[in-house]
Structure 1
Amino acid sequence: MIDDTRGAPGPREQITGLVFAVLLVTPDLIIREVNPAGESLLGQSSRRLRGRSLLEVLRFADPLVRERLNDGDLQLTARNAQLRVEDREIAANLTISPMANHPGWRIITLSDAGQGERLGERDSRSALRGPAVLAHEIKNPLAAIRGAAQLVSRKLPEDDRGLTRLITDEVDRIAELIDRMQRLGRERADPVAPLNLHATIRRALETVTAARGPMVVREEFDPSLPPVLGSDGALVQVLINLVTNARDASETADRPEVIIRTRFVSGLVMNVIRLGRPVKLPIEVQVSDNGAGIDPAIRDHIFEPFVSAKKNGQGLGLALVNKLVRDMDGRISHERDAATGWTHFRVHLPMAR
């Protein structure tokens, strides 16, 4: 019989290779060990984390989690648990597992709830492939309808051309909607290359200004940022959508404000299933507005197709933004700060090597 265990990784190597954070905690909630994914998620080395109180490093919003932590014999599994790590608020999938032979000791695992490619996202993309194929077939007769309306318009007096203009305008609107559906259903991602993030942001601002008129945006840029790894066209489209949404939302405020910030953040990692490895996302661009915010009833679904906070929105803008960001192996998140009255959209991207 062949011994398949020879050369197999040991327990420590197995834990080191995990793409989610693993923390070993003593009965009095002192961190004893942290794996590399835990260092990345928490933004600190294991040397600095060992010996610190878990509740000092992680601040849990849900009192139930804190209660379970105080009882060393209880286990817990929680999805989208809200917690704060230093100055970052994240939603994490959490498990607390007591160690049977070591009373009070626990293994805690954490993974960012926004990381990776969730099954629901793959299902929604699969559901969009059918409409995308159908959309391709619809565009040909739409073009014929538009052309016929233009021909009829030439034969009518100017006073009677309103109806034909209505037809062409509606055809153009439907064609634009179909284009967006096709982009959502497209599987192939645009190629990525090193980009100057600030130059890309200013291109997006110029486009929004040209289409909608002048706007006041406060820029808080970190000039020392290295190049990001992304698709120039896709990133411009992402920023156009986010800035336009922020501009629209802030119009309800007494003194409308839109802020774009960039910064370098350590410790954020995305588990990219299709790549089979974690990807560090240290570069952040944040688009903020002081509008009324998104309806709480749909906040958890705003990146899904056909969900919209706008009265006449189609619900494809943020779904497309989410797809484009993930195609660049990045991550986008949303946060409403009720205390200050600001809404923040944060895009995290990998750094070009």
Structure 2
Amino acid sequence: MNISFEKTFDNLITAVLVLNTRFEVQYANQATLSFLKTGRKQLYGNIVDDFVLFSSLDKTRFRAALEHHENFSENEVEFCLLDESILLFDIGVTYIINEEQDLLLIEAKHIDQQKRISKENQQAAQQHAAKELVRGLAHEIKNPLGGIRGAAQLLAMELSSPEKKEYTQMIIKQSDRLRELVDRLLGPNSLPQFTWQNIHIPIEAVFQLVKLDNHYNINIVRDYDPSIPDVYIDANMIQQAVLNIVKNAMQALHDAQSKLPKIKIKTRVARHQVILGKKVPLCAVIYIYDNGPGVPKALRDTLFYPMVSSKQSGSGLGLSIAQTLIEHHNGKIELESRKGRTEFAIFLPITKHGETA
């Protein structure tokens, strides 16, 4: 077989890549070059791993396809590129022989953004329902708590025995603790106080706080984009949201006893995002990375639900509260995780005048 790859595949919108038995790139069409943000001169003859930080695809399947002359496909494969952007593809791999060479022809169809939007909307609806259920239960718990505490106080006034008064004090103390937990479940009870702010002011406040409380000797680095315009935010809410995520990362690194633990806080501008079904032309984005064990796959879709935690000692409220605070700004939090790398991205919409949407 003698295939002219350029004539056959160059004009396709599907990314097409041809690899030899050493997994070196023999051909890439224009769609592939566009996704990888490189040129043929830089790509040809090199292994594709040089242009991808990681992918969720099991690489042993490529070797098996070559050895057994088999084809395979896999949906929703995740690729992290050198600029740390993450793309989803449906992949098809075909074994071919061209000019007596064993080759793999890889077709990668970029998953339409609508699929991601649909998933986000579905998750948002589920999270909203879960939060409303928890809030309803919290109110049902909170109502009798006042009666229990008041009765314990009245009983304490009638008791003369110090030993018995200790029991009433225990009831009062535990009632207060439960009331505090219920208040946290109900979320912030004050309205946002929006002002024009440099987004880095609340982030820097978080950095200073965790630097003083860094008992685990975690390397915490910053990478700020000074070109981000002032945004119309409640700085205290943004600070609390970022702090909750950073503390969550610190705890995960400590629990996993990660070697050379590291957290990176990065800010960038993102364009043409979709948040809660609305197109947003410009966003300020706060990225929080850690090199810990990753979020268990079973928890990823429910991680922002109240009382959900991957840690035995966690309350499961920190991330739920963070999401509520960001929702007050019409923003969203995205999670990407694998072993050795977890990324939270906080998107805050910006209008052309610098105010959040």
> Under TM normalisation by the shorter chain, which class is it?
0.5 to 0.7
Of 119, 122, 129, the match for 1:119: 122
SS of residue in 1 equivalent to 2:304: coil
Residue 122 of structure 1 and its aligned partner are, at CA, apart by 0.6
Of 176, 180, 201 in structure 2, the residue corresponding to residue 176 of structure 1 is 180
Preserved contact between residue 32 and residue 51 of structure 1 (Cα < 8 Å): no
Instruction: State the distance in 2 between where 1:167 and 1:208 align.
Output: 35
> 2 CA distance for matches of 1:155 and 1:206?
50
Q: Is there any run of 5+ residues in structure 1 with no aligned partner, and where? A: 1-21, 97-103
Structure 1 partner of 2:319: 318
User: Are the counterparts in 1 of residues 265 and 288 from structure 2 also a CA contact under 8 Å?
Assistant: yes
Determine the structure 2 residue equivalent to 1:150. Answer: 153
Task: Note if contact 1:142-1:171 (Cα within 8 Å) is conserved in structure 2.
Answer: yes
Equivalent in the alignment of 2:4: none
Paired with 2:14 and 2:252, the residues of 1 have a C-alpha distance of 44
Three-state SS of the structure 2 residue aligned to 1:117 is: helix
The superposition leaves residues 2-28 of structure 1 with CA deviations (integer Å, 9 ceiling, x where unpaired) of xxxxxxxxxxxxxxxxxxxx9444686
- Output aligned runs, 1:11-30, within 5 Å: 23-25=13-15, 30=28
Give the 3-state SS of the residue equivalent to 1:167 in structure 2.
helix
Aligned residue type for 2:166: G
Distance 1:121 1:51, change over 3 A: farther
User: C-alpha displacement at 1:253, in angstroms?
Assistant: 6.9
Q: Distance in 1 between matches of 2:259 and 2:86?
A: 27
Offset at residue 119 of structure 1 (A): 0.8
Equivalent of residue 232 in structure 1, options 227, 231, 235: 235
- Larger C-alpha radius of gyration, 1 or 2? 2
Instruction: Provide TM-score, normalisation by structure 1.
Output: 0.62
Compared CA separation, residues 270 and 172, structure 1 to 2 (3 A): farther
The alpha-carbon distance between structure 1 residues 189 and 181, as it changes in their structure 2 partners (threshold 3 A), is same
Pairwise mapping of residues 59-98 of structure 1 onto structure 2 (< 5 A)? 60-63=55-58, 78-79=75-76, 81-88=77-84, 90=86, 92=88, 94=90
Measured in 2, the distance between the counterparts of 1:161 and 1:345 equals: 50
The answer (yes or no) to whether the contact 1:227–1:351 under 8 Å persists in 2 is no
One-letter code of the match for 2:173? D
Aligned pairs for 1:2-13 within 5 A: none
1:261 aligns with 2:264: yes
Q: Percent identity?
A: 20
In structure 2, the CA distance between the partners of 1:123 and 1:144, relative to structure 1 (3 Å rule), is same
TM-aligned CA distance change 1:280 to 1:145, over 3 Å: same
RMSD: 5.0
Distance 1:51 1:118 in 2: 41
Q: How many angstroms apart in 2 are the aligned matches of 1:257 and 1:242?
A: 19
Q: Secondary structure at the match of 1:332?
A: strand
What is the correspondence of 1:126-275 to structure 2 with a 5 Å cutoff?
126-156=129-159, 157-183=161-187, 194-204=196-206, 218-222=219-223, 224-225=225-226, 226-227=228-229, 229=231, 230-252=233-255, 260-265=263-268, 270-275=273-278
Paired letter, 2:79: L
Q: In the TM superposition, what whole-angstrom CA distance separates every residue of 1:157-198 from its partner, at most 9, and x where no partner exists? A: 5443332233223323332333333339x9x99586543333
* Structure 1 position 269, deviation (Å): 5.7
- Which residue pairs with 1:109 in the alignment? 110
Q: How many residues align?
A: 305
Task: Provide the secondary structure at the position in 1 that maps to 2:111.
Answer: strand
Matches within 5 A, 1:291-302: 298=299, 301-302=302-303
Contact 1:31 1:53 in 2 (8 A): no
Please say if residues 123 and 301 of structure 2, whose CA atoms lie closer than 8 Å, have aligned partners that are also in contact.
no
The whole-number CA distance in structure 2 between the counterparts of 1:350 and 1:30 is 36
Q: Deviations over 1:251-292 (max 9, x none)?
A: 4477998755333446676422432x15554533425376x6
Q: Deviations over 1:42-83 (max 9, x none)?
A: 595xxx67998695766644158979x99xxx996723x221
Check if 1:288 corresponds to 2:283. Answer: no
Q: Which runs of 5+ in 2 are unaligned?
A: 1-11, 19-26, 93-104
Distance between the aligned counterparts of 1:189 and 1:117, measured in 2?
Answer: 26
| Contact 1:262–1:286 (CA under 8 A) maintained in structure 2 | yes
Counterpart of 1:7 in structure 2 is none
CA distance in 2, matches of 1:150, 1:207: 38
Shift of 1:129: 1.7
